[in-house]
Amino acid sequence: MRYKELLEKVKDLPKFPVYRNSSEVVNLGESLGIEDVVLAGVLAELNILLIGERGEGKTQIMDDVNNSLFGGRGTYIRARPDMRTKELYEFFNIKKLRRELADMVKAPLTMIDEINRAPPIIQNEFFHMCDGYIEHEGKKIQLGEGFHTTIASANVSSERYRGTFEMDDAILDRFYLILNIDNYPTKVTDDLEIITAEAGKSPKLAESLKEDHSEEIFAIAKEIKKTREEKFDFDAYLALLYLKRGLDYCSLKGSKRIISYAIPALCKKNSCDRLDKGCGYVRAISERTVEAIAALAPTLRLVADSKNGKGKGAITYGEILEAFRLASPYAGILDFNWVRHKYYSNPSLAVDELTKNIKEEFIEKKEEAKAGLRRALEGKLDNEVTSRFGEEWKFFSGALGEIGMVAKKHGKLIKNLRNENLIKQYPFLRALR
């Protein structure tokens, strides 16, 4: 499928029929709002958690996604203390005297409303669903028919995920895109439209007409996965490497992972000069978060391009950093006390500033990084080049060293990056093509 066809398919998808909010969340040359970002998350097949105060439209968003994109085929769950998720997917066949699976396992979407109204022991039952399967008679049963995503909502107060019960880090880790709706208040024009539409109506959830675009969603998601690697340029891979390795750098121990539970106390004890830059308050991001960023960046680009029908879907460091800004505020990388005291308990504000600093650092280094890469590919790498990449860029000098070794063994690599036999032997070279 050509990229232009993808753009047309996305453009033809219906807008949310009820929820209204035109505030900007991301700008990639085109302004993307909450609806756009949620759509990008769905197309990337990422689990989405919508958080915020009561009555801000979280449940309405889920209902709009279910009705306008999946024809109402989704499984709706209202979390409660006495629920058992097996009851949703199994029924007792009285003729055969055994429990069998219900058709609900085929649903492409699972919606969990007010997930923190259930205690942790019940929240744990959502793990498998968020991972795309359930257990039945000791076997894994995949949810959906080749596609499944989960959207949940949670009411929060202060800086904690609190409804009746607090959310466990393990279940939070299953949601790769967590949007705090309160960060994006509606505009006056949105309010006027909402007030006009709801005048004299009941304050209950507004039901929208059902349109089933499941097949289009599946096709778009499949095509994005298939062609994703082709769309990433060197800057995008470099940005991903920086996020994974650069944010993990520690001048005291080499890697923050070794001392993740001791920072920032250890940084203060050793009077580390990088603490003022926020280094000691930011932990290394997980592989799961890196994967979420890599999956979200192309769909954000796709949704942005669909607005004007232009673009080729190329993924640069810009898309990667915007995806990082969306995926990381609640990914466990920030020191809670630091966020509370400096950023008013709002992790999104902390990540906004962090992303701005990373972008400045990245722009300053990326051309030098490209020049170093060329030297490595030509087999001309030397200490003068690698010494330019210190501190959090040490990962890159190491990468250049590996590329330089391959170049010395196989000759200049610039002309050989399409050699499939070489790629099979050194898979990391695929990112340089």
DSSP string covering 38-88, please? HHHHHHTT--EEEEESTTSSHHHHHHHHHHHHHTT-SEEEE--TT--THHH
d(CA 180, CA 348): 8
Query: Both tokens of residue 283?
Result: 């932990």
Per-residue pLDDT of the chain (433 residues; tens, 9 = 90+): 788 999 999 999 999 988 999 999 999 999 999 999 999 999 999 999 999 887 778 999 999 999 999 999 999 988 887 777 666 776 544 444 456 567 788 899 999 998 888 887 778 878 888 888 888 777 888 888 899 999 999 987 544 444 456 777 778 888 999 999 999 998 998 888 877 765 555 555 566 689 999 999 999 999 999 888 778 888 888 899 899 988 998 888 888 998 888 889 988 888 888 887 788 899 999 999 999 999 999 999 999 999 998 888 899 999 999 999 999 999 989 999 999 999 999 999 999 999 999 999 889 888 888 888 888 888 888 888 888 888 788 888 888 888 878 777 777 665 666 666 766 766 666 666 5
The Cβ of residue 319 has, within 10 Å, a number of other Cβ atoms equal to 29
Paired with 111 in beta bridges are 76, 151
Domain 3-217: CATH superfamily, name plus number: P-loop containing nucleotide triphosphate hydrolases (3.40.50.300)
Q: Tokens 């650069």: give the residue.
A: 246
Query: Both tokens of residue 17?
Result: 């029929």
d(CA 83, CA 61): 23
d(CA 36, CA 164): 30
Assess contact for 65 and 243: CB atoms under 8 A.
no
Give pLDDT, residue 86. Answer: 67
d(CA 329, CA 146): 29
Give pLDDT, residue 326. Answer: 96
Q: What is the DSSP letter of 232?
A: B
Rg (CA), the chain: 23
Give pLDDT, residue 97. Answer: 45
Q: Tokens 């047309």: give the residue.
A: 8
Give pLDDT, residue 431. Answer: 62
Give pLDDT, residue 327. Answer: 95
Give pLDDT, residue 156. Answer: 72
Give pLDDT, residue 157. Answer: 57
Assess contact for 365 and 397: CB atoms under 8 A.
no
Could you tell me how far CA 364 lies from the centroid of its own chain?
A: 26
Give pLDDT, residue 341. Answer: 93
Element (H, E) at 178: strand 177-180
Which class for 368: exposed (0-12), middle (13-18), buried (19 or more C-beta within 10 A)? middle
Q: What is the DSSP letter of 414?
A: T
Give pLDDT, residue 37. Answer: 97
Domain ranges for the chain: 3-217, 224-432
